């Protein structure tokens, strides 16, 4: 059973259908109690970091997610769901995240728009996987593939070991995938990334960290 966290800020229908398409059984979870004995957790999201973090806190889902991650339940954060995995965000202020991975969320350089690089970063782009260490099993299907991004902010983990994949926008590199132990996050949208995205979701369902 895949617990898809529904806190009112994600395209639940598209992600649920994508997970079901690759063989998953999905339940929408709106309360901490509903996590129960879940076997996997997916945290999607679009919108503002502050609103996401506050919704997770008020519902008790934030603490429940952290508890399940500590127990070793495989976790996937998507887009804003990846950003909120970090310690804090500087989006319109300074706000705390789940602190599953130490780091911060920051904006693209202020010079980007005047140089012709629109914000948000939107569309197809690369994900470059490390050539110096083993590729994460969930990301393995993405070798030499492009994926679909929509975001105005990006993740900066403190420990470089937690960066699993990178992308560059306007010669500015950012983490397109992060991970630690049984947790992984992706900045792009698998449900919009066609075959590559479906392959990633299928790999997540098979992943046994």
Tell how far CA 157 is from the center of its chain. 13
How far are the Cα atoms of 114, 117, 162, 166, 191 from residue 130, in angstroms, in the given order?
31, 26, 11, 8, 23
Look at residue 60 in the predicted model and tell me its pLDDT. Answer: 93
d(CA 171, CA 76): 27
Report the C-alpha gap between 47 and 54 in whole angstroms: 12
Q: What is the pLDDT of residue 113?
A: 86
Does the model's pTM come out above 0.85?
yes
pLDDT of residue 142: 95
Task: Single out the catalytic residue among 121, 155, 191, 202.
Answer: 191
168 in Cβ contact with 126 (< 8 Å): yes
**Euclidean distance between CA atoms 209 and 195, whole angstroms:** 24
State residue 184's pLDDT score. 98
Task: Output the pLDDT for position 130.
Answer: 76
- In sequence order, the 6+-apart residues with CB closer than 8 A to the CB of 13 are none
Separation of alpha carbons 61 and 35, rounded Å? 8
Residue whose tokens read 């947790």: 183
Catalytic residue flag (residue 79): yes
Instruction: Give pLDDT < 70 ranges for the chain.
Output: 131
User: What is the per-residue pLDDT for 48?
Assistant: 86
- For this structure, is 191 an active site residue? yes
pLDDT given at position 93: 80
Of the listed 69, 79, 154, 167, which one is catalytic? Answer: 79
9: helix, coil or strand? coil
Domains and CATH numbers, the chain: 2-206 (3.40.50.880)
pLDDT score at 182: 98
């Amino acid at each position: 059973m895949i617990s898809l966290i529904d806190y009112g800020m994600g395209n639940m229908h598209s992600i649920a259908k994508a997970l079901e398409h690759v063989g998953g059984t999905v339940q929408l979870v709106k309360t901490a109690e509903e996590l129960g004995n879940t076997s996997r957790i997916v945290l999607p999201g679009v919108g503002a970091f502050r609103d996401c973090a506050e919704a997770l806190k008020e519902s008790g889902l934030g603490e429940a997610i952290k508890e399940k991650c500590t127990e070793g339940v495989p976790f996937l954060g998507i887009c804003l769901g990846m950003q909120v995995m970090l310690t804090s965000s500087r989006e319109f202020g300074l706000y705390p995240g789940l602190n599953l991975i130490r780091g911060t969320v920051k904006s693209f350089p202020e010079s980007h728009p005047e140089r012709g690089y629109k914000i948000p970063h939107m569309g197809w782009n690369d994900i470059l996987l490390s050539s110096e260490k083993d590729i994460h099993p969930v990301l393995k299907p993405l070798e030499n593939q492009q994926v679909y991004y929509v975001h105005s902010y990006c993740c900066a983990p403190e420990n470089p070991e937690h960066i699993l994949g990178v992308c560059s926008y306007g010669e500015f590199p950012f983490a397109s995938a992060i991970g630690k132990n049984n947790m992984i996050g992706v900045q792009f949208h698998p449900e919009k990334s066609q075959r590559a995205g479906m392959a990633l979701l299928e790999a997540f369902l098979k992943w046994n960290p």
